[in-house]
Chains A and B, each alone.
Chain A
Amino acid sequence: MAPSGSSGMSVPEDGPTSCGLQFFGAVSASISHELKNAIAIVNEHAGLLEDLAALAERGRPIDPKRLKQTAAQIARQVQRADGIIRNMNRFAHSIDDPIKTVDLPEMVCFLSALAERKATMAGVVIEVVCRDASFSVQTRPFFLLNLLWLCLKSLIETIPSGAVVQLGADPNDRGVVVWLGCEHLNRSVETILHAVREQAGPLLCALEAEVAIDGTTGRIALSVPKIICDA
């Protein structure tokens, strides 16, 4: 039976799953694009080395500094690609355990890494303000990541280019509150909240989570329980 959530909505049997497939597809496409770019840059640097070697064969001396610089840039792209693949692997494994204890600030950092390209394309900067914190909840990690992604995506798609999105998490009596803030949020916060509730209804139920506007700060606040009932 599908879990019932605090929002009182009934969960369609395949609701979180079909939502999750869309999420998986969106993140995979973004990752593959990032990887393609890193490969394309390595390709150009390799081509440049070939060009310089061909010139040297024709008698034009090569500046060793230029070679070192190109080699360093290749190494940087290899490191970048390695980071992208690590994230991809971590993302793929986030579906392994239906319920697991997760460190929320760590998950927020991971979400920021996954959404970086989407933010860059929109001219938005993501700032994580809970990097050094550590507190955990027992939850459905893939669904929670999906829900956070939907919140962040809706926010990025609504705010103007040049805006800064702040992501944070704080423990509370119920469990944890993950929040998303932006100085340009005021006018659009209701629209974003509506979009999240519409798209993420099944996820909110499955996670026993609540999404609301924090009356004091004006941020989008996502409240998740310390331990999910099914655990």
Chain B
Amino acid sequence: MNVLLVDDEDQLVSTLAERLELRGIHASWVTNGEDAILMVKAREFDVAVLDVKLPKIGGIELKRRLAAIRPNLKFLFMTGHGSEEDFEAGSREAGKDNYLVKPVRIEELIQHLQNLVQAEKKE
């Protein structure tokens, strides 16, 4: 499984990526929307995990732009807020089951990633 992590907190995404790698999931990370777009143009990913609040290009807008580049790409949102406003925005875009509130439990994240990839295979 190839996963792209996008969050403006570099220590968060780099450590999360390292932990996913230790579990056999190939994880790349970037800290902003522009780099995410370049990365998705250059490589194929199964799932993109996006922070809702990102500098310049927000997570919701980024999801739309990435989906236009790779229509089969699946999305998972995470946020530090956990506010109703963010939950509504995130769940509207990715479905309420694909929205995680930070701090994220790695097992929960992996479960969500696997569910998304398996759902695609069934389709």
> Which residues of A line the B interface, CB within 8 A?
29, 32-33, 36-37, 39-45, 47-48, 51, 55, 73, 77, 120-123, 161
B19 on interface, CB distance cutoff 8 Å: yes
Residue from A37, A48, A122 with most neighbouring chain B CB atoms (10 Å): A37
> Which residues of B line the A interface, CB within 8 A?
8-9, 11-12, 15-16, 18-19, 22, 53-56, 80-83, 102-104, 106
B19 and A51 form a contact (CB under 8 A): yes
B19 and A40 form a contact (CB under 8 A): no
With contacts A44-B16, A48-B18, A120-B55 taken as known, whether A73 is within 8 angstroms of B11 at the C-beta atoms is yes
With contacts A121-B53, A121-B55, A122-B55 taken as known, whether A41 is within 8 angstroms of B22 at the C-beta atoms is no
Chain B residues with CB under 8 A of A40: 9, 12, 80, 102-104
A44 and B80 form a contact (CB under 8 A): no
B81 and A36 form a contact (CB under 8 A): yes
Cβ of A84 to closest chain B Cβ, rounded Å: 12
Cβ of A184 to closest chain B Cβ, rounded Å: 15
Chain B residues with CB under 8 A of A121: 53-55
| Bound CA span A223–B96, Å | 49
Chief secondary structure at chain A's binding surface? helix
Cβ of A32 to closest chain B Cβ, rounded Å: 8
| Bound CA span A37–B102, Å | 7
| Bound CA span A153–B83, Å | 21
Chain A residues with CB under 8 A of B106: 47
Cβ of A215 to closest chain B Cβ, rounded Å: 33
Smallest CB gap from B10: residue in A: A41
Chain B residues with CB under 8 A of A73: 11, 15
Cβ of A38 to closest chain B Cβ, rounded Å: 9
With contacts A37-B9, A37-B12, A40-B80 taken as known, whether A55 is within 8 angstroms of B22 at the C-beta atoms is yes
